Structure 1
């Protein structure tokens, strides 16, 4: 199924990254591969983490009790 808003060329990468988040046992599992650039966000998103899909797109999500939830794909530019 294709998204109308998310560019087609990154949809497969986004799905793969979402599976990685879903399969993570602990938050540090998402530090590999380093290209994920896992980071804890600050400010109004201080409860969220993010990993990169590419330079423009990120997946942000909350992490609690070794579980990710409220995942969103956002355009950082």
Structure 2
């Protein structure tokens, strides 16, 4: 389930289907990840080959990451069956 967004661009894409702020070559994977987040009941549901779900070390609360491409990721916190504080970032 989708909770809250940190990224305004992701919120616009999810709420209004507006693509502003999302790189064109990322769009397909970003939409796929958001759909997976919306459908997931548990964090393990997001462990899909090719998306490289993993926890980010040293972050409190724990944040998780899914690969878009190259250095770009969607990161989020997982709490009570929902992805919260969802962000679109290049953290490398």
Shorter chain as denominator, the TM-score bin is 0.7 to 0.9
Of 77, 83, 88, which residue of structure 2 is paired with 1:62?
77
Q: Which residue of 2 aligns with 1:16?
A: 32
RMSD (Å) for aligned C-alpha atoms: 1.5
Specify which structure has the bigger relative contact order, considering alpha-carbon pairs within 8 angstroms and separated by 6 or more residues.
2
CA distance in 1, matches of 2:63, 2:34: 15
Change (3 A) 1:46 1:39: farther
Query: Where does structure 1 differ by over 3 angstroms across 4 or more consecutive aligned residues?
Result: none
Aligned length: 75
Q: How does 1:1-77 map to 2 (within 5 A)?
A: 1-4=18-21, 6-32=22-48, 34-44=49-59, 47-77=62-92
Aligned mates of 1:19, 1:45 — CA distance in 2 = 25
Using the size of structure 1 for normalisation, the TM-score is: 0.83
Q: 1:11 to 1:62 in 2, by over 3 A?
A: same
Q: Runs of 5+ in structure 1 lacking a partner?
A: none
What is the TM-score normalised by the length of structure 2?
0.71
Aligned twin of 2:3: none
CA contact (8 A) 1:57 1:74 kept: yes
